[in-house]
Structures are given as C-alpha cells and as structure tokens.
Amino acid sequence: MSDPVVKPIYVLHGKDAHLRDEARRRIVSLAVGDADPQVCVSSFDADTELAAVLDELRTLPFLAPRRVVIVREAESFVTANREALEKYFDAPAASATLILEVGAWPGNTKLAKKLNPAGELVECTSPEGPKLLNWIRSAVQARGKTIAPDAAGLLAEWIGPSLTLLSGELDKVVTYIGERPAVTARDVAAVVTAVAGPEAFAVTNAITRGDAKSALRATTAALRTRGAEFALLGQIAWHVRRALQAAQGVAAGQSPAAAMKAARVFYGQREFQDMLRKRGLKKLQADARRLLKTDLGMKTGTNPLPAMQQLVIELCN
C-alpha cells in the first residue's frame, strides 16, 4: 500500500476542539514525518498579515520534507484575504502545507470551490445521535475496553457532544474500572459529572415526581433525533438502578438518607424519598423488568417512540 499523499492545503471545518487537534496532529505528522516540528511548523493567529503566511509557505523546509503553516480561528483571515487566497489555491507552494482552521466554510464560495483537487476539507463538527454513540464506543475500544450500550447512552446524555469533555471523562472511567474489561452504566454514574444541563434530566425528574404528563412531553422532545432512544433508555436505566438500590438498602434496614447516599442520590432527595415510599421495592423490581422488556423490544424492531412513552407512563403510575 502506498503512503498517503500530503495535500498542500487543508481546511479544518467545525468547532470541536478535540477533532481539530486530532486532525491537525495527523496532518502535521503526515507532512513532516520524523522531523522536528520546531523547525518546520509555524502557527499564526487570525489577525496576522497575509504576507507573513505566504513568506512561510514559500520558504523551503529545513531538515524536513515539507513546511507546515497553520492559521488558527481563520474566519476573519479568510474574509480579509479571500482574493489573494483564491490565487494561492490555484498555485500552492510545492513544498509546504497550509492548514486553515475555520468554524464555517460555505461551500458555495469561489474559494471553497477551488479547494478541490489541490486541498482537502476535514470535518471537525461534533457527532450527534447514533454517530456520537459510535464515537464513544470507538474511543473506549481505543483504550482497550468495551462499553455497555446504556453506559454509552448515559455518557452522551450527561456530557453531550463535546468530544474534549467526553475524552476526559472516558479517561476517568477507564482508570476507575482498572482491570475490568467493560464500562457499565454504574461506573459512569460513579465517576462522571453531568454537564449537559437541567434539560438532560427532564424525563427522569418527571418520573421521580410521578408526573406522567411532563415525562411524556420530555420523552417526545428527547426522541427527535434518530437513535436518541438508547441514550434516553440508558438514563432511565440509571434512574431505575439507583431507585432499586436505594429501596433494597431501606428494606435491609438502612435509613433512607444512608440508602440514597449509597445509591449516589445527592440532589432532589426529598422527591426521590417520596418516590421510594410510594413505589416500594416490589414496584421498583417490576420497573426493572419493564425496562429490560422495552430494551429488548426496541432492539428487535419495536417503534421507539410508543415503546418509550409506554415505559415512562408505567414508571410514573
């Protein structure tokens, strides 16, 4: 297999810092090989003068196969120098690679149309829905572990599409599980701090209150994205497991406060305790069976929206 061809121009399009960093490192490594980046890689801010960038691009590399020039947050740089960049795209330097990092890259501009075939557009936008779950699974596998679907869904729900934050949380979880081969939702609940905002807990908060109307409304809103049902199911599974663990602790003689602390219930304790008292251990055990039935049904072709709606109604009643 031949080595990948290094392009003279790369546009990193999107605002996910993690994907940008990965793409930048890959391109620099491809362009300079084992050479010292300090002698062949230059980085500029958006307010730099075009002449300085062009001088670097046209300077022959020293002790390296190519020179790499990076312009960060380059939207204003592109806007200010569009015509000159169009000319450069037509005849880029033969021994240099230009990397432009931009949040937006409209495909209908003359400059964008000139990018191919000389350059390459690299998407650096955070994935969502099923693509985000796939990214989490791949990131865990790269760390030598596997992750349960409900755990991946819980991470996606709690952290959201920031790959930088997700990567940091995955490092914490993988360190936490030690030699165990798989990450579970219990592991995620033990070490991950949710940052996705209060709306991420709208369904489970409503279930805790027994508010079926609000739970249904929040469920419908959460399932607007294809594949989101498994993320939501993972969050509900986390809620049911905590409730069941706390109820088992109370049944074994623990005080409600001690049982909730053991189940990592730190917020909304009064509502959570009211739910434990109203539902009791037998109902919560039935809730766990309903959860498994819903999970199996969706994996075998059941329509997710009515299945999840039925589940949240049963968990509220």
Answer yes or no: is pLDDT of 46 > 90: no
Q: Quick one: pLDDT at residue 154? A: 81
Task: Please state, in angstroms and rounded to a whole number, the distance separating the CA atoms of residues 169 and 26.
Answer: 23
- Of 59, 93, 123, at which residue does a domain stop? 123
User: What residues contact residue 211 under an 8 Å CB cut-off, 6+ apart?
Assistant: 316
Answer yes or no: is pLDDT of 2 > 50: no
Contact 230, 298 (CB under 8 A): yes
Answer yes or no: is pLDDT of 157 > 80: no
Same domain, 139 and 261: yes
DSSP string for 170-209: HHHHHHHHTT-SEE-HHHHHHHPPP-S-GGGGHHHHHHHH
Residue 1 lies in a domain: no
Same domain, 159 and 297: yes
Q: Quick one: pLDDT at residue 287? A: 94
128/248: higher pLDDT: 248
Q: From residue 159, give the alpha-carbon distance in Å to each of 189, 206, 298, 310.
A: 12, 20, 24, 26
Q: Quick one: pLDDT at residue 255? A: 93
- Of 123, 158, 183, at which residue does a domain stop? 123
- Domain with 170 in it: 130-316
Residue 256 lies in a domain: yes
Same domain, 283 and 301: yes
Coil, strand or helix at 9? strand
Q: Is 307 exposed, middle or buried (0-12, 13-18, 19+ CB in 10 A)?
A: middle
Same domain, 156 and 287: yes
Same domain, 15 and 164: no
Same domain, 71 and 46: yes
- The total of structural domains in the chain comes to 2
